[in-house]
């Protein structure tokens, strides 16, 4: 159990580092766009590759930050549905939906690894201003899906524990009610 706790601690630190990097990208993008606008207005100069670099950084920022959002359950949820459910049924719905998400993340992980590997082996070059190789730009996608896959497993485990705990709390009440019903019939 200690090994699992240590692994989860390390995993959380990796997520924190990824989130910090995503935040740094946001700040750098904001500064770069601001400087570009100022330079264009003041001296009429704009650096053409900036748009392309920012496009790539948006991809990186998204996949670097997605796992941290999933860890905090900050993603989009159907509150209108879950708010009418009992806590036990809400936990069960979360187990089911997160299990489906695990499957989707696993499929996406498989295919993005396949695509990135093929682009690396083919030395695929993007037809753009900078003409960069494609795989360094897209490598964050399988990394992000791998991290999401692991986080979804953690979330599903936690929701299952909650569901089990709530189910265990209900059982004694159900048994007592059954005993009370039987004794009231006598």
At 3-32, the pLDDT tens digits run 999 999 999 999 999 999 999 999 999 999
pLDDT tens digit sequence for 85-120: 888 998 999 999 999 999 999 999 999 999 999 999
Q: In this structure, is residue 137 part of a structural domain?
A: yes
CA 76 from chain center: how many Å? 11
Confidence grade of residue 172 (pLDDT, cut at 50, 70, 90): low
Q: In this structure, is residue 99 part of a structural domain?
A: yes
Greater pLDDT, 81 or 89: 89
Q: In this structure, is residue 25 part of a structural domain?
A: yes
pLDDT tens digit sequence for 135-144: 999 999 999 9
Q: In this structure, is residue 122 part of a structural domain?
A: yes
Whether the CB-CB separation of 82 and 90 falls below 8 Å is answered with yes
Q: In this structure, is residue 180 part of a structural domain?
A: no
- For 133, phi and psi rounded to 5 degrees? -65, 145
Lowest mean pLDDT among 11-25, 72-86, 140-154: 72-86
Q: What is the largest CA-CA distance in the chain?
A: 95
Which of helix, strand or coil describes residue 124?
Answer: coil
Q: In this structure, is residue 97 part of a structural domain?
A: yes
Whole-angstrom distance, CA of residue 112 vs CA of residue 145: 8
Q: In this structure, is residue 166 part of a structural domain?
A: yes
Quote the domain boundaries for residue 103: 2-170
Number of domains in the chain: 1
Q: Any bridge partners for residue 125, and if so which?
A: 133
């Amino acid at each position: 159990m200690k090994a699992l706790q240590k692994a989860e601690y390390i995993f959380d630190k990796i997520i924190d580092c990824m989130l910090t990097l995503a935040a740094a990208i946001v700040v750098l993008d904001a500064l770069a766009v601001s400087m570009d606008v100022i330079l264009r207005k003041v001296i009429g100069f704009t650096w053409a590759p900036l748009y392309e670099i920012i496009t790539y950084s948006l991809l990186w920022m998204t996949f670097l930050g997605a796992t941290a959002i999933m860890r905090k359950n900050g993603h989009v949820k159907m509150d209108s549905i879950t708010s009418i459910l009992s806590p036990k049924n809400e936990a069960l719905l979360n187990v089911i939906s997160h299990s489906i998400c695990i499957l989707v993340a696993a499929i996406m992980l498989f295919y993005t690894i396949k695509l990135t590997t093929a682009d690396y082996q083919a030395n695929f070059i993007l037809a753009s201003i900078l003409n960069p190789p494609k795989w360094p730009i897209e490598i964050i996608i399988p990394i992000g899906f791998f991290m999401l896959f692991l986080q979804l497993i953690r979330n599903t485990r936690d929701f299952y524990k909650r569901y089990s705990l709530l189910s265990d709390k209900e059982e004694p009440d159900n048994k007592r009610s059954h005993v009370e019903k039987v004794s009231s019939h006598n």
